[in-house]
Amino acid sequence: MNALLSSTNAIAAMSGIFGLNIKLIDIAYIVSSIFFIFGIKMLGKADTARRGNMVSSIGMLIAVVATLLYSGLDYTWIIAGIIIGAAIGVVAAKMVKMTSMPELVALFNGFGGLASLLVGWAEYERIKGFGWEGYLAHTQGEFYFSNIVIWLTLWIGGITFTGSILAYLKLSAKISGSAICFKGQKAFNALLALAMVAALVAMCMLPLETAYPVMIAVIALALLLGIFGVLPIGGGDMPVVISLLNSFSGLAAAAAGFTIANTVLIVSGCLVGASGFILTIIMCKAMNRTLANVLFSGFGATDEGSAKVEGEMKAASIEDAYYVLEAARSVVIIPGYGMAVAQAQHAVKELGTMLEANGAEVRYAIHPVAGRMPGHMNVLLAEADVPYEQLAEMDSVNPMMEMVDVALVIGANDVVNPAAVEDPGCPIYGMPIIEAYKARTVFALKRGKGAGFSGLVNKLYFLEKTRMLYGDAKATVSELAGMFKDK
């Protein structure tokens, strides 16, 4: 850090010699932004993701230190806040289970939105202290701009906060994970949005002191819109919701940056907002659905698409599965949320190692929306030290699925459902899936005979080539691995 400050001091001195108006804090912000960009780029690959997170963290550390050095504020409360926040973060990181990572990410998104909302509120309080006439000593355009960016900060921050909290409650099963709809819901949400726009007009037309209740109303409306916006979204669409809320938390930070005229906050917020939105589009594409359909269709609120299928689900014993796997030369393991619930990732890694020792080629097929957040399965398998080169994306594994001896489906449902390919009446028809149904034999690990989290019956389970292994996935996989060990 000392070397960095010395270098930036030298650059600042040179800028003075050449007549450039460059401040040391601006240089620090530029350096931070470069760290953010390289960090996000490194997050795009599994083998560099951890370093990318570290690089981005260093960039934020530089930005925070530079801001504090140039703020001239009393550090007492700031240091106290840093200590308290760091303690909470350490405890949360140590205690949270990897299977609960989606809930933790939802909370992080929510508190990021809340922080931006509070920044907007505090800035309104600050400029309100100038009085109407004092503040209008600035141009009318500056007054309008300040109100607009404060409104954006409150609006996006409020939606992000309550929407993320509701997503957390759904993901943690504290409330129903299915879509919750009521008659006139879309019209109600539209009225909330129109009221937000009307409040913006009022904020710009009224004196600051008079418009204060309007500003409070904006906060209340934003909080309500976050709740009622996420209510009609079912658990099967949670990866998209988490990604979108992550984007919103970045946009809220960028709006807060405009509110307090902080360059690095604008840059970092825009980077998070843009990358989160791109990931959201990727998630939607992986489901062959539009973002509007995810947000407003109420998917999972009815029994649509849950029609009965022909045949029956045929159970197999663990011994039967062992003998088939023992003879297999190629095995594709397809994890889903059921693996996360059972915390079976380490047992799955052990079974994969045993299969390789037995001469089988093992791959782990990852669907983009498997689990409850983007990259959920990648995180779990990385925790179990599954080699990166064994992870296969859907597009690379599907062409060779017909040559696979065994597809081992562990807790996945919609992402392997043949109805997405064969049944035009199914709600997920057209969604790209991992084509497990083309493998020579399919073993599906499932706790019971019920439908998946989205409420759709999986036709894969009723195929002649499919055998069900009922029970806890961790216990089942561990027993299979144990039988290979005994051999």
Q: Please write the tens of the pLDDT for every residue from 421-459.
A: 888 877 778 888 999 999 999 999 988 766 655 567 889
Produce one character per residue of 208-234: b if its CB has 16 or more CB atoms within 10 Å, e if not.
beebeebbebbbebbbbbbbbbbbbbb
Percent of the chain at pLDDT exceeding 90: 40
Output the six-digit token pair for 51: 């370093």
Give the per-residue pLDDT at 345.
92
What percent of the chain has pLDDT above 70?
87
Residue 414 known to be catalytic? yes
Q: Which residue has the higher pLDDT, 355 or 98?
A: 355
Encode pLDDT of 59-86 as tens digits. Answer: 999 998 888 888 777 778 888 888 998 8
What's the pLDDT score for residue 9? Answer: 39
Q: Is 173 left (phi over 0), alpha (psi -120 to 50) or beta?
A: left
Among 174-188, 231-245, 380-394, name the most confident range.
Answer: 380-394
Buried b vs exposed e over 144-155: b needs ≥16 C-beta within 10 Å?
Answer: eebbbbbbbbbb
Q: Write 310-317 long-range contacts (CB < 8 A, 24+).
A: 310/462, 311/462, 311/463, 311/464, 312/462, 313/449, 313/461, 313/462, 313/466, 313/468, 314/466, 314/467, 314/468, 315/467, 315/468, 315/469, 315/470, 316/443, 316/467, 316/468, 316/469
Angstrom distances, CA of residue 194 to CA of 197, 225, 484: 5, 11, 63
Q: Which residues on adjacent β-strands are paired with residue 257? A: none
Residue of higher predicted confidence among 357 and 96: 357
Q: What is the pLDDT of residues 475-485, one digit of tens each?
A: 999 999 999 98
Residue 311: pLDDT band with limits 50, 70, 90: confident
Q: Is the pLDDT of residue 372 over 60?
A: yes
Catalytic option among 385, 414, 472, 486: 414
pLDDT at 309: 66
Q: Is it true that domain 318-486 has CATH number 3.40.50.1220? A: yes
- 137: pLDDT strictly greater than 80: no
Query: Angle CA(159)–CA(160)–CA(164) in degrees, nearest 5?
Result: 115
Whether the pLDDT of residue 267 is over 80: the answer is: yes
Report the alpha-carbon distance of residue 27 to residue 321 in Å, rounded: 62
Please, which pLDDT band fits residue 140 given cuts at 50, 70 and 90? low
- Going by pLDDT thresholds of 50, 70 and 90, the confidence category of residue 135 is low
Is the model more confident about 383 or about 152?
152
Is the per-residue pLDDT at 294 higher than 80?
Answer: no
Better pLDDT: 304 or 96: 96
| pTM of the predicted model as reported, rounded to 2 decimal places | 0.78
Domain coordinates in residue numbering, the chain? 1-95, 100-302, 318-486
- What pLDDT sits at residue 111? 92
Q: pLDDT tier at 19 (50, 70, 90 boundaries)?
A: very low
Give the H/E segment covering residue 357.
Answer: helix 345-357
pLDDT at 21 over 60: no
Mean pLDDT of 227-235: 84
Report CA-CA distances (Å) from 237 to 278, 294, 325. 16, 7, 33
Strand blocks (E) in 353-478: 361-366, 391-393, 406-410, 441-446, 466-470
Chain mean pLDDT for the chain: 83
In this prediction, residue 450 carries a pLDDT of 61
What average pLDDT does this structure show over 250-262? Answer: 91
Say what the pLDDT of residue 20 is: 36
Contact by Cβ (8 Å): 247, 272: yes
- At residue 308, the 3 state secondary structure works out as coil
**pLDDT-based confidence at residue 242 (cuts at 50, 70, 90):** confident
